[in-house]
Structure 1
Amino acid sequence: MESRQLKWGYLLVLSLVWGSSFILIKKGLIGLSAIQVGSLRIIFAAIFLLLIGFKSLSKIPKEKWKFIALTSVFGTFVPAFLFAIAETELDSSVTAILNSLTPLNTLILGTLFFGVSFQKKQVWGVFIGLMGSSLLVFNGAINHPDQNYYYTILVIIAAICYAINVNLIKRFLSDLSPISITTGNFLFLLFPALTILYFTGFYDVLAVEKVQHSVWFIVILGVVGTGIANVLFFKLIQISSPVFATSVTYLIPIVAFFWGLLDNEMLTPMQFFGAFIILIGVYLSAKKQ
């Protein structure tokens, strides 16, 4: 009974933390550029994870480091910048909803390139999810002419990167502990992120109050939304199952939507319908017999 209550507690906390990540990116963009937001998110998460997981790096065999590098690029580096760039034009709630396409992309790529089997209802789930995302995007473009909905392509690419990452980890790194994989990822990314941040001119504007205020939002995003959240997610997998753990995908857009409401974002009724269709597609694609 205690374990059952604990796993639901972890699931709730993760949905709140990850669902809040999109509004934190938006607030960070007030005083920072998208490239600065992506770099700082990686840097703060890396510092935190290296502090708590440095010893776990010795458990990574030498032949596995090439896959650690690949998963760091697809699972963190590229999406961190793409989401930040996308939110310069899109509402945070829209990006969160489109991010829920990750399980659909995971199924498609797993089937095409990683030999993962599928069921007929999962194929239906893919088509339903794609229909919902099309409805969300096209209706949003019509009703929000002030936003550039071509930037949804960046969110979809980020979701594809997440899907590649999941399949790579399952295929090549399933024998390593999650904390070793994640700490290795951020060790690999720390120096590139520091280099990119340096060339953005960040240190020249750090004394500006608006910039400092935005940095604090990214500190929370990096440490809590990435570092601590990953640790909780690993614990959730250990006390439940991967299927149960990934069900957090259904809750993230709900949390992000309510944060968006507080920040004066609003979806049209047709976008609500599109979001609902997406979640149905995700559910069908992820459901197992």
Structure 2
Amino acid sequence: MSNRDLIIFITLSFMWSLSFIFYRIGVPEFGSLVFASLRVVLAGLTMLVFVILNKKNRVGIRENWKVLTLVGLFSAAVPFILFAFSARSVNAGVLAVLNASVPMISGFIASTFFKDRLSKKQILGLVIGVIGVMILMSENLFGGQSAESGSGLLSMGYALLACVGYALGANITRNYLDNVSPVAITAGSLLIASVIMLPIALYEFPYGKSISITAWVSVVCIGVFSTAIALIFMNQLIKSIGPVRATSITLVIPIFAIILGYLLLDEALDTPAIIGSMVILFGTYLSLDLSFKKMLNS
């Protein structure tokens, strides 16, 4: 993993962590399903600019539209809808732990269907990372989850299916779109997902309800920066370091989310958060097969 890939990895972690802040602001006013739909639609409109300005992107999309349709479904449309339904009854702590299962699922898919073998060090790192997320979210997981608030198996099943979608989309990208640019992959998949999500946004939109400027800014930011631009970085990582190592970013996102929550939302920074963060960082270090010596010498 090059220093450039590591910088992209850290930057992407930060960008996706911001989505938690945007969700906190926008979902109460738009509703979870509309917010998720608008996120994809705005991301698709953003990527439309890249398609219009660059002929190579148009060619890449036209020649690979069937595969890009699958990526758009599995990596954006379906997971966002499933998480929207799941978030209605499952608290954020449980969702974060479930989301951290993506690299494990990705590793299973890669090794089973695409013969992309993981080293023992990487497998150990993924397991340690998941344990760290569980420590990080231990209070939310075990401290106040009532039956009413949503520990239902069906709702958690929605979130796990979303994680399967993320993992499958990442593996399809790596194995079938290797010769397509990250921008074309992102543009094609998001434009196709936008066509699917637009009717949902129009049908479920809270017409007649006053939506604040802050909420509109949050949905624009999550669509443009935390989805469109972020997915360009993600597709670049998938092509560069593989789907399993790239999706291990889901282990790091909770750390940034907690820091941002502490700085911007006055949320508590407790001992489990600190311990869990250290465990996650160690697990991610192993799963990415990093070497401090190589990094310093490169």
TM-score under structure 2 normalisation? Answer: 0.76
Instruction: Show the counterpart of 1:122.
Output: 122
Taking the aligned partners of 2:100 and 2:128, their CA distance within structure 1 comes to 13
**Does structure 1 residue 193 correspond to structure 2 residue 194?**
no
Task: Give the 3 Å change call, closer, same or farther, for CA 158–283 of structure 1 in structure 2.
Answer: farther
5+ long unaligned stretches in structure 2: 292-298
Question: What do residues 192-246 of structure 1 show as CA deviations (whole Å, max 9, x unaligned)?
Answer: 211111221x1623x5134x542321111001111223345567789xx437977
Q: How far apart, in 1, do the equivalents of 2:182 and 2:116 lie? A: 21
Query: Does 2:41 match 1:43?
Result: yes
Distance in 1, matches of 2:88 and 2:67, equals 31
What residue number does 2:294 align with? none
CA distance in 2, matches of 1:155, 1:248: 17
Distance 2:17 2:175 in 1: 28
- 1:108-119 equivalences in 2 (<5 Å): 108-119=108-119
| Distance in structure 1 (CA, Å) of the matches to 2:170 and 2:235 | 14
Percent identity over the alignment?
29
Per the alignment, do residues 82 and 198 of structure 1 end up closer, same or farther by CA in structure 2, a change over 3 Å counting? same
Q: Equivalent residue of 2:37, what SS?
A: helix
Q: Per-residue displacement from partner, 1:5-35 (whole Å, max 9, x unpaired)?
A: x777655543332211122122211101111
Determine the structure 2 residue equivalent to 1:157: 161
**Aligned partners of 1:16, 1:288: CA distance in 2, in Å?**
19
Match of 1:209 in 2: 211
Q: Kindly indicate whether residue 80 of structure 2 is the aligned counterpart of residue 80 of structure 1.
A: yes
Distance in 1 (CA, whole Å) between partners of 2:141 and 2:96 is 16
Equivalent-residue separation in structure 2 for 1:197 and 1:176 (angstroms): 30
Aligned-partner Cα distance in 2 for 1:97–1:276? 16
Contact 1:39 1:193 (C-alpha < 8 Å) held by counterparts: yes
- CA shift, 1:145, in A, is 3.0
Matched residue SS, 2:123: helix
Unpaired runs of 5+ residues, structure 1, are none
Task: Name the residue aligned to 1:145.
Answer: 145
Change (3 A) 1:26 1:157: farther
The one-letter amino acid paired with 2:286 is L
Structure 2 equivalent of residue 169 of structure 1: 173
- Cα distance in 2 for residues equivalent to 1:8 and 1:139: 30
Q: Is the 8 A contact 2:39 2:222 kept in 1?
A: yes
Q: Is the 8 A contact 1:103 1:282 kept in 2?
A: no
Given the two structures, how large is their TM-score scaled by the length of structure 1? 0.78
- CA, structure 1 residues 237+135, in 2 after alignment: closer, same or farther (shift >3 Å)? closer
Distance 1:90 1:283, change over 3 A: farther
Q: Which residue of 2 aligns with 1:230?
A: 231
Following superposition, the deviation at residue 170 of structure 1 comes to 1.1
Contact 1:41–1:80 (8 Å) recurs in 2: no
